């Protein structure tokens, strides 16, 4: 019955300005709900990535202080290779992928020395 109600009450559920249909109120509610869920999921993913990067920073500082440069380089290569692949595949941003690839290159440089 909801679909019948929506189609039968088109005059009450739409906003018109000078004869143009702007956005039906029903669609506005649906889109705002979807946007809220998307923003929450994006915030959760970004928070998890932030926690991973903070953990990598702390572990890297500890390894550098102990003079274990090869272990630090391998950790950066593994973590940032995964993040580079994810940013290139999911976000599809070449700038972000290049920025994530910089620690991988520097880690490989440390290993070759």
**SS in 3 state form for the chain?**
CHHHHHHHCHHHHCCEECCEECCCHHHHHHHHHHHHHHHHHHHHHHHHHHHHHHHHHHHHHHHHHCCCHHHHHHHHHHHHHHHHHHHHHHHCCHHHHHHHHHHHHHHHHHHHC
Average pLDDT over the chain, rounded to whole? Answer: 76
Question: What is the value of pTM for the model shown?
Answer: 0.56
Residue-wise pLDDT tens digits, 12-61: 544 445 555 555 566 666 666 777 888 888 888 889 988 988 998 898 88
Residue-wise pLDDT tens digits, 92-106: 777 777 888 888 888
Q: What is the pLDDT of residue 97?
A: 78
Q: How far, in Å, CA of 92 to CA of 50, rounded? A: 19
């Amino acid at each position: 019955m909801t679909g019948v109600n929506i189609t039968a009450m088109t005059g009450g559920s739409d906003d018109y300005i000078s004869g143009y249909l702007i956005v039906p109120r029903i669609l506005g509610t649906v889109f705002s709900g979807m946007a809220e869920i998307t923003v929450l999921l994006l915030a959760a993913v970004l928070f998890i990535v932030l926690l991973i990067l903070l953990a990598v920073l702390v572990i890297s500082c500890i390894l550098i202080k102990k003079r274990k440069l090869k272990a630090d380089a391998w950790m950066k290569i593994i973590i940032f290779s995964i993040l580079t692949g994810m940013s290139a595949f999911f976000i599809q941003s070449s700038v972000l992928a290049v920025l994530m690839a910089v620690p991988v290159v520097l880690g490989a440089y440390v290993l070759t020395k």
